[in-house]
Structure 1
Amino acid sequence: NLSKSEHFSLTRDIKERYGSTFFAGNYLDIAIEKGERHTCFFPYDDPITGFCLPEHGTHPDYPYLPKGGPNSLFFTGVDVAGDTNGDSTVLTTLQYIDRELRVVAFERISKTPLFDQNGTIERIRRRLNQFSGDLYYDATALAGQYLKEAIEKELEPEEVLRCTPINSTKKPAKNNKHNHKTFMLSNLAGIVEKGKLVIPYDEQDRLKQLKTEMRFYKLDDKGLATDTVMSLALAAYAWKRRESNNTYYDEEEGVDYLMDRVA
C-alpha cells in the first residue's frame, strides 16, 4: 500500500492534472466519439441457468469485430463482486488493433454467490473461447480468492495459464513504490489521455454504467461504484504487461506520467 505521504502527494498531483475526478474532461469524450464507428458484443444469458448461451457469439467470424489479422490481440478484465450488496461482477474485453484499445465485449451481472463462483467460471470459460487472449481477474478480497480457487479447479490447464490473478493492494515487485491498483489506474488514465481507448456506441446505451463510472471516478473511491472501471483497468493492464514483456520499468514510468507536468 502507499504510505500516507505518497497517497497524499499522488492524490494532489492527479487532482491538479485531472481535477477532482480521474477521467473527466474531453479525453473521455474523445473515447466515446471514436466509438460511434464501432459496435460491442453483449452476451446473452440462458433464462434458466443464467449462463451464457453457447450458440451465441461463438462463430469464428465475429460480425461485430473488424478483421483483426495477426496484429489483433484480445485482453479481458474480470472484476468479481465482493461482499457488499451494491457490487456486480463485470467482464470487459479489449481488442488491440490499429494502435487502439477498443471495448469489444462487455458483461455486467448481478452479484454472484460468494461461495459458489460457477456462474462466473462459466462466463470466463465462454469469454476465453470467444476471444483468445490474456485474462486478468481481481483476486484481492475474499470473493477474488474463491474465484481463484474455482478457476484453478474448474478450468482446463491451458485456460488456467491464460488467467492471471491480481491482488490490487500488493506491489508487483519489492522494488516498486506503487501497488497494482495504482499501476492499473495510471495506465488506464494514460491510455485515455493518449486517445487510445474506444468506447463503442450502443443504441440501448448498455455501456452507460461504464461511461458514468469513468466520468465520476475518483482516486479515493470509497462509497463509489467502481466495478466497470476496475474491469476495464484490469483488461488494459493485461495489455500493458504484454507490451512491456512483463517488466515493470515502463509501469513506473506510467505512474510518473500522471505527474510529469505538475511541478
Structure 2
Amino acid sequence: MNLDNIAIPLAAATPNPDELMAGTGFLVEISGHSYLTTAAHILTGALAQRDHWSSWSKEINIYDGHKNLLTRISLFTEKEGAQSPAFHYGRTTDDHHRLLDLIMLPLTDRQLKEIKSDRIPLPESLATSQIGDSLLLAGCPRDSWPQSTETEHTLIGASPDHLVLHIAPEAQEGSSGGPLLTRSGKLLGINYGADNPLAPGAGLALTAAFLRELPQSNDGYLECFTYEKPTN
C-alpha cells in the first residue's frame, strides 16, 4: 500500500456558505464495497454531532493535492419528503441523538475513479497496538492543505472501553478524519480531535473497529453497543 496516496483532502460548506470546513478522509473496502471515511464534525462545524440533519452540509467536496476539485458527493437523499443520510453513522449510548464523530459514505465506481486514492481493505488491514507503540497519521494539515503529510505519534492510552485511543502529540488541525496507522501500514484508528478533559493534552482517535460496525447499523444503532430504550 502506498501511504502517500491514502489521505484525501476534502471540505464541506459550514452554516456560513462563504466558508469551507477543511479536513481529511480516506477510502476503505469491506466485502467488495468502498466507502469514504471521515470525521463527522467536518460536515457540521460543531463540537458535538447530532442527528439534526438540517444543520449538516449537503455535500462534500473532494480535492487533489493541488486544490483541484475532483468531485462533489451528496450527503443526503430525499425520502418521503424528508432528508435521509446517504452515509452510515453511529449513535452513542448516553444520548441517542448524539452521534460518533465518524461517517462512512458509500461510493460508486465513477466516484472511485474520480478520487483515485488507494483503498484500505478491511478487516484484514485492521491493527492492534500497545501503549508506547510508534504510529503514523496521514492527514492534510491546515498549514499545508490540501497537501498530505505523515506525522509521527505515540500511543499513550485509551478510554476505559478502548473505543477512543489517546496519542501524543496532538494531531494538527485539518488532519481530522485521517487514518492512524501502524508502522507496517495497518489501520488502527481515525483521528478526530483533542481537548478531552479525561485526556488533557492528548490527541484522540476512534478505534478502526467501528468501521466494521457502521455499515451494519440500523438508523445509527450499532450492534456492538447496548442501548437503553429512548424516553422520548
TM-score between both structures, scaled by the size of structure 1: 0.29
Structure showing greater Rg: 1
Q: Which has the higher contact order (CA 8 A, sep 6+)?
A: 1
**Structure number with higher strand proportion:** 2
Higher helix content, 1 or 2? 1
